Protein backbone atom coordinates (compact mmCIF):
# COMPACT_ATOMS: atom_id res chain seq x y z
CA UNK A 1 0.00 0.00 0.00
CA UNK A 2 1.52 3.31 -1.06
CA UNK A 3 1.69 5.95 1.67
CA UNK A 4 1.29 9.73 1.63
CA UNK A 5 5.03 10.06 2.22
CA UNK A 6 5.73 7.77 -0.76
CA UNK A 7 3.54 10.00 -2.95
CA UNK A 8 5.39 13.07 -1.69
CA UNK A 9 8.69 11.54 -2.80
CA UNK A 10 7.30 10.44 -6.17
CA UNK A 11 5.89 13.91 -6.78
CA UNK A 12 9.27 15.45 -5.97
CA UNK A 13 11.06 13.02 -8.30
CA UNK A 14 8.56 13.80 -11.05
CA UNK A 15 8.94 17.56 -10.65
CA UNK A 16 12.71 17.16 -10.86
CA UNK A 17 12.35 15.41 -14.21
CA UNK A 18 12.09 11.78 -13.13
CA UNK A 19 8.94 11.15 -15.20
CA UNK A 20 10.85 11.87 -18.40
CA UNK A 21 13.90 9.76 -17.68
CA UNK A 22 16.62 9.46 -15.08
CA UNK A 23 17.48 12.58 -13.11
CA UNK A 24 20.51 13.29 -10.95
CA UNK A 25 19.42 13.31 -7.29
CA UNK A 26 21.43 14.40 -4.28
CA UNK A 27 20.11 12.78 -1.11
CA UNK A 28 21.42 15.75 0.89
CA UNK A 29 19.62 18.36 -1.23
CA UNK A 30 16.49 16.23 -1.39
CA UNK A 31 16.54 15.96 2.41
CA UNK A 32 16.83 19.73 2.72
CA UNK A 33 13.94 20.38 0.32
CA UNK A 34 11.70 17.86 2.12
CA UNK A 35 12.86 18.95 5.57
CA UNK A 36 13.92 15.43 6.47
CA UNK A 37 17.15 13.82 7.52
CA UNK A 38 19.40 12.34 4.79
CA UNK A 39 19.04 8.96 6.51
CA UNK A 40 15.22 9.13 6.26
CA UNK A 41 15.46 10.10 2.60
CA UNK A 42 17.87 7.25 1.89
CA UNK A 43 15.56 4.72 3.57
CA UNK A 44 12.53 6.03 1.68
CA UNK A 45 14.30 5.84 -1.68
CA UNK A 46 15.39 2.28 -0.94
CA UNK A 47 11.80 1.36 -0.03
CA UNK A 48 10.41 2.93 -3.22
CA UNK A 49 12.99 1.08 -5.28
CA UNK A 50 12.14 -2.22 -3.57
CA UNK A 51 8.44 -1.68 -4.33
CA UNK A 52 9.31 -0.87 -7.98
CA UNK A 53 8.03 2.72 -7.82
CA UNK A 54 11.44 4.05 -8.84
CA UNK A 55 14.67 2.74 -10.36
CA UNK A 56 18.11 3.97 -9.35
CA UNK A 57 21.60 3.79 -10.74
CA UNK A 58 24.87 5.06 -9.29
CA UNK A 59 27.38 6.68 -11.63
CA UNK A 60 30.68 8.45 -11.04
CA UNK A 61 28.89 11.82 -10.88
CA UNK A 62 26.18 10.71 -8.45
CA UNK A 63 22.85 8.92 -8.00
CA UNK A 64 20.26 8.89 -10.81
CA UNK A 65 16.58 8.19 -10.18
CA UNK A 66 13.62 7.61 -12.52
CA UNK A 67 9.95 7.09 -11.67
CA UNK A 68 8.68 3.77 -13.04
CA UNK A 69 5.36 3.20 -14.75
CA UNK A 70 4.00 1.84 -11.46
CA UNK A 71 5.06 5.04 -9.71
CA UNK A 72 3.56 7.18 -12.45
CA UNK A 73 0.27 5.28 -12.13
CA UNK A 74 0.23 6.01 -8.38
CA UNK A 75 0.66 9.72 -9.10
CA UNK A 76 -2.10 9.61 -11.72
CA UNK A 77 -4.51 8.06 -9.23
CA UNK A 78 -3.68 10.78 -6.70
CA UNK A 79 -4.20 13.42 -9.39
CA UNK A 80 -7.55 11.87 -10.30
CA UNK A 81 -8.68 12.08 -6.67
CA UNK A 82 -7.89 15.80 -6.59
CA UNK A 83 -9.72 16.30 -9.86
CA UNK A 84 -12.79 14.68 -8.30
CA UNK A 85 -12.55 17.15 -5.41
CA UNK A 86 -12.21 20.29 -7.48
CA UNK A 87 -13.73 19.58 -10.89
CA UNK A 88 -16.95 18.18 -12.32
CA UNK A 89 -15.79 14.92 -13.85
CA UNK A 90 -19.14 13.22 -14.36
CA UNK A 91 -19.88 12.00 -17.85
CA UNK A 92 -18.81 9.51 -20.48
CA UNK A 93 -15.64 9.43 -22.55
CA UNK A 94 -15.82 7.73 -25.93
CA UNK A 95 -12.92 5.71 -27.34
CA UNK A 96 -13.27 4.48 -30.92
CA UNK A 97 -11.22 2.04 -32.94
CA UNK A 98 -11.04 -1.00 -35.21
CA UNK A 99 -11.05 -4.65 -34.22
CA UNK A 100 -7.66 -6.33 -34.68
CA UNK A 101 -6.07 -9.65 -33.86
CA UNK A 102 -3.85 -8.96 -30.86
CA UNK A 103 -1.10 -10.44 -28.76
CA UNK A 104 -3.64 -11.82 -26.34
CA UNK A 105 -1.84 -10.67 -23.19
CA UNK A 106 -5.15 -10.13 -21.41
CA UNK A 107 -6.40 -13.60 -22.36
CA UNK A 108 -3.90 -15.00 -19.88
CA UNK A 109 -5.62 -13.17 -17.01
CA UNK A 110 -9.13 -14.44 -17.76
CA UNK A 111 -7.98 -18.07 -17.63
CA UNK A 112 -6.60 -18.07 -14.07
CA UNK A 113 -8.96 -18.38 -11.07
CA UNK A 114 -6.97 -15.97 -8.88
CA UNK A 115 -7.60 -13.20 -11.41
CA UNK A 116 -11.14 -14.22 -12.37
CA UNK A 117 -12.25 -14.07 -8.72
CA UNK A 118 -10.95 -10.50 -8.50
CA UNK A 119 -12.73 -9.53 -11.73
CA UNK A 120 -16.02 -10.80 -10.34
CA UNK A 121 -15.55 -8.99 -7.04
CA UNK A 122 -14.09 -5.71 -8.30
CA UNK A 123 -15.67 -5.33 -11.76
CA UNK A 124 -19.01 -7.01 -11.13
CA UNK A 125 -18.81 -9.64 -13.84
CA UNK A 126 -17.14 -12.92 -14.64
CA UNK A 127 -15.21 -12.46 -17.90
CA UNK A 128 -15.52 -14.54 -21.04
CA UNK A 129 -12.24 -16.47 -21.49
CA UNK A 130 -10.93 -14.27 -24.27
CA UNK A 131 -10.37 -10.61 -25.13
CA UNK A 132 -11.22 -8.07 -27.81
CA UNK A 133 -8.31 -6.07 -29.21
CA UNK A 134 -8.79 -2.62 -30.74
CA UNK A 135 -6.49 -0.25 -32.59
CA UNK A 136 -7.88 3.12 -31.56
CA UNK A 137 -8.03 6.33 -33.58
CA UNK A 138 -5.39 9.06 -33.05
CA UNK A 139 -7.95 11.32 -31.36
CA UNK A 140 -9.01 8.46 -29.09
CA UNK A 141 -5.42 8.07 -27.87
CA UNK A 142 -5.71 11.44 -26.11
CA UNK A 143 -9.18 10.48 -24.83
CA UNK A 144 -7.75 7.24 -23.47
CA UNK A 145 -5.02 9.15 -21.61
CA UNK A 146 -7.69 11.39 -20.09
CA UNK A 147 -9.75 8.35 -19.12
CA UNK A 148 -6.71 6.84 -17.42
CA UNK A 149 -6.87 9.61 -14.83
CA UNK A 150 -10.10 8.11 -13.51
CA UNK A 151 -11.38 4.98 -11.83
CA UNK A 152 -8.64 2.40 -12.46
CA UNK A 153 -9.27 -0.86 -10.65
CA UNK A 154 -6.16 -2.61 -9.38
CA UNK A 155 -5.91 -6.36 -9.92
CA UNK A 156 -3.41 -7.60 -7.38
CA UNK A 157 -0.66 -10.09 -8.05
CA UNK A 158 -0.54 -13.27 -5.98
CA UNK A 159 1.23 -16.58 -5.45
CA UNK A 160 -0.31 -19.98 -6.15
CA UNK A 161 1.08 -23.44 -6.85
CA UNK A 162 4.62 -22.21 -6.19
CA UNK A 163 4.25 -19.57 -8.92
CA UNK A 164 4.10 -15.78 -8.78
CA UNK A 165 1.40 -14.05 -10.81
CA UNK A 166 1.86 -10.38 -11.63
CA UNK A 167 -0.52 -7.49 -11.18
CA UNK A 168 -2.74 -5.74 -13.73
CA UNK A 169 -5.16 -2.83 -13.81
CA UNK A 170 -8.59 -2.43 -15.37
CA UNK A 171 -10.66 0.52 -16.54
CA UNK A 172 -14.39 -0.31 -16.39
CA UNK A 173 -16.32 0.49 -19.57
CA UNK A 174 -19.20 -0.65 -21.78
CA UNK A 175 -19.42 -1.78 -25.39
CA UNK A 176 -22.88 -1.97 -26.93
CA UNK A 177 -24.34 -2.12 -23.40
CA UNK A 178 -22.18 -5.04 -22.26
CA UNK A 179 -20.04 -4.75 -19.11
CA UNK A 180 -16.38 -4.61 -20.08
CA UNK A 181 -13.02 -3.37 -18.87
CA UNK A 182 -9.85 -2.24 -20.60
CA UNK A 183 -7.11 -4.42 -19.11
CA UNK A 184 -3.45 -3.43 -18.90
CA UNK A 185 -1.04 -6.13 -17.66
CA UNK A 186 1.63 -4.98 -15.24
CA UNK A 187 4.21 -5.49 -17.97
CA UNK A 188 2.31 -4.60 -21.11
CA UNK A 189 3.92 -4.59 -24.55
CA UNK A 190 1.07 -2.73 -26.24
CA UNK A 191 1.54 0.76 -27.71
CA UNK A 192 -0.76 3.65 -26.71
CA UNK A 193 -3.03 3.14 -29.72
CA UNK A 194 -3.91 -0.48 -28.90
CA UNK A 195 -6.25 -1.57 -26.11
CA UNK A 196 -7.36 -5.00 -24.94
CA UNK A 197 -10.86 -5.46 -23.52
CA UNK A 198 -12.32 -8.17 -21.31
CA UNK A 199 -16.10 -8.59 -21.26
CA UNK A 200 -18.93 -10.54 -19.70
CA UNK A 201 -19.68 -12.01 -23.16
CA UNK A 202 -17.83 -13.01 -26.32
CA UNK A 203 -18.09 -9.65 -28.08
CA UNK A 204 -17.00 -10.91 -31.50
CA UNK A 205 -19.89 -13.36 -31.48
CA UNK A 206 -22.54 -11.17 -29.84
CA UNK A 207 -21.80 -8.19 -32.12
CA UNK A 208 -20.81 -10.22 -35.18
CA UNK A 209 -17.40 -8.54 -35.25
CA UNK A 210 -14.50 -9.19 -37.61
CA UNK A 211 -11.10 -7.56 -37.94
CA UNK A 212 -11.54 -4.05 -39.31
CA UNK A 213 -15.01 -3.46 -37.84
CA UNK A 214 -15.55 -0.22 -35.91
CA UNK A 215 -16.28 -0.33 -32.17
CA UNK A 216 -17.15 2.36 -29.64
CA UNK A 217 -15.99 2.00 -26.03
CA UNK A 218 -17.84 4.06 -23.40
CA UNK A 219 -15.84 4.89 -20.28
CA UNK A 220 -17.99 6.36 -17.53
CA UNK A 221 -16.03 8.79 -15.34
CA UNK A 222 -17.24 9.96 -11.96
Q: What is the mean pLDDT of residues 117-146?
A: 90
Q: What percent of the chain has pLDDT over 70?
A: 91
CATH number at residue 14: 1.10.10.10
82 occurs within a structural domain: no
* DSSP letters spanning 103-157: --HHHHHTTSHHHHHHHHHHHSSPPPSS-EEEEE-HHHHHHHHHHTTS--EEE--
Residue 98 has pLDDT above 90, yes or no: yes
- The answer to whether residues 97 and 25 belong to one domain is no
Last residue of a domain, one of 18, 44, 74: 74
> Quick check: 123 and 153 in contact, CB under 8 A?
yes
Range of the domain at 92: 88-221
- The answer to whether residues 109 and 185 belong to one domain is yes
Q: What is the CA radius of gyration of the chain?
A: 20
Residue 90 has pLDDT above 60, yes or no: no
pTM over 0.75: no
Helix (H, G, I), strand (E, B) or coil at 129: coil
Residue 124 has pLDDT above 90, yes or no: yes
21 occurs within a structural domain: yes
CATH number at residue 140: 2.40.30.30
- The answer to whether residues 97 and 69 belong to one domain is no
- The answer to whether residues 170 and 64 belong to one domain is no
- The answer to whether residues 139 and 98 belong to one domain is yes
- The answer to whether residues 65 and 105 belong to one domain is no
Q: What is the dihedral of CA 19, 104, 185, 174, to 10 degrees?
A: 100
- The answer to whether residues 184 and 141 belong to one domain is yes
Amino acid sequence: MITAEDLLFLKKMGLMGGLNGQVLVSSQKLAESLKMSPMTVSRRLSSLEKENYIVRSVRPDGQYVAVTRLGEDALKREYADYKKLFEDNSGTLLIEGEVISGLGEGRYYVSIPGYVDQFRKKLGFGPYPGTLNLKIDPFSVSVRKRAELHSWVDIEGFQADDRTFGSAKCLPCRINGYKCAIIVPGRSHYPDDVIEVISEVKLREKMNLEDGNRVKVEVCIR
